[in-house]
């Protein structure tokens, strides 16, 4: 089974600063997808960014970018110019494509607090 | 364009009872997955439905069952509720495999007393 580890239960950053959330995963697969999801108090999981394992280029979505190190099985999320609305739980997730379907394996999450 | 809709938003049940949760996927999506999120934890995969069949299942007992209807909506049923079934139940939809990521609903908060 694939496992996803987020070693930082809680983090805090000041508005406009940059913060990096860590994620490592364990798999023997070569082709897979990685995701970061955000879960604000409204409970809805919101897709932040997606990375395909066969692509060496790191994904970027506006203020959000990842550092994908396939050999090290590391997938960190960098949030630049942090905003108060970024306060939320952040989950790293691994998805392996299979013939029978797909499922996301989530880490335990990192609670991010952005302060004024 | 409506996203994923789940009902009810909150539910309180007694141990031993049965519960049905409902999900309408995002327009254009044909695959529905269900996740259980215990307090302070990441979501755990329960099962996935495609073309009205269970395509993949996580490590959950047979007390958890589901159904997908021709309009792609889905139900999650839990029998013989245990206190440990108290959690947020999330529905997620996608078109096909979901490699581009799922769209999640806001969940149903189930409390078993």
User: What is the Rg, in whole angstroms, of the alpha carbon atoms belonging to chain A?
Assistant: 14
Q: Are B105 and B6 in contact (CB under 8 A)?
A: yes
| Four-way CATH pick for A3-111: 1.10.645.10, 3.30.70.360, 3.40.190.10, 2.60.40.10 | 2.60.40.10
Per-domain residue ranges for chain B?
Answer: 5-105
Per-domain residue ranges for chain A?
Answer: 3-111
Mutate to test the interface with A, among B43, B96, B100 (most CBs of A within 10 A): B43
CB-based contact (8 Å) between B102 and chain A?
A: yes
* pLDDT per position as a tens digit, B59-82: 999 999 999 999 999 999 999 999
**CA neighbor of B36 nearest in space, from B14, B15, B16, B66:** B66
Q: Which CATH class is domain B5-105?
A: mainly beta
**CA neighbor of B2 nearest in space, from B22, B27, B21:** B27
Q: Is A43 helix (H, G, I), strand (E, B) or coil?
A: coil
pLDDT at residue A82, rounded to an integer: 98
* pLDDT per position as a tens digit, A40-72: 988 889 999 999 999 989 999 999 999 999 999
**Average pLDDT in the B20-27 region?**
97
Predicted confidence (pLDDT) at residue B1 exceeds the cutoff of 60: no
Q: How far is A97 from B100, CA to CA, in rounded Å? A: 11
Predicted confidence (pLDDT) at residue B99 exceeds the cutoff of 90: no
**CA neighbor of A70 nearest in space, from A95, A33, A105:** A33
CB-based contact (8 Å) between B84 and chain A?
A: no
Contacts of B97 in chain A (CB under 8 A): 97, 101-102
Q: Are B21 and B6 in contact (CB under 8 A)?
A: yes
Confidence of residue A2 (pLDDT cuts 50, 70, 90): low
* pLDDT per position as a tens digit, B36-61: 999 999 999 999 999 999 988 999 99
CB-based contact (8 Å) between B73 and chain A?
A: no
Q: How far is B91 from B103, CA to CA, in rounded Å? A: 8
- What percent of chain A stands above pLDDT 70? 96
Predicted confidence (pLDDT) at residue B2 exceeds the cutoff of 70: no
Predicted confidence (pLDDT) at residue A19 exceeds the cutoff of 80: yes
CB-based contact (8 Å) between B45 and chain A?
A: yes
Q: Sign (positive/negative) of CA torsion B24, B29, B31, B35?
A: negative
Chain-chain contact of B56 with A103 (C-beta, under 8 angstroms):
yes
The CB density around residue A79, as the number of other CB atoms within 10 Å, is 23
């Amino acid at each position: 089974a694939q496992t996803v580890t987020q070693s930082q239960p809680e983090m805090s950053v000041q508005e406009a600063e940059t913060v990096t959330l860590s994620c490592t995963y364990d798999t023997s697969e070569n082709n897979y997808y990685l995701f970061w999801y955000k879960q604000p108090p409204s409970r809805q999981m919101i897709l932040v960014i997606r990375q395909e394992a066969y692509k060496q280029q790191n994904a970027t979505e506006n203020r959000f970018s990842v550092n994908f190190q396939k050999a090290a099985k590391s997938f960190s999320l960098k949030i630049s110019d942090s905003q108060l609305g970024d306060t939320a739980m952040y989950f790293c997730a691994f998805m392996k494509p299979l013939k029978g379907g797909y499922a996301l394996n989530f880490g335990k999450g990192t609670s991010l607090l952005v302060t004024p | 364009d409506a996203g994923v809709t789940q009902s009810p938003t909150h539910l309180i049940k007694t141990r031993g009872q049965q519960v049905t949760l409902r999900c309408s996927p995002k327009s254009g999506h044909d695959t529905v997955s269900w996740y259980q999120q215990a307090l302070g934890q990441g979501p755990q995969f329960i099962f996935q439905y495609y073309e009205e069949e269970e395509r993949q299942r996580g490590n959950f007992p047979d007390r958890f069952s589901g159904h997908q209807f021709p309009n792609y909506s889905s139900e999650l049923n839990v029998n013989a509720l245990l206190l440990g079934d108290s959690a947020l139940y999330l529905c997620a939809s996608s078109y096909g495999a979901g490699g581009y990521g799922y769209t999640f609903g806001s969940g149903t908060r189930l409390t078993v007393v």
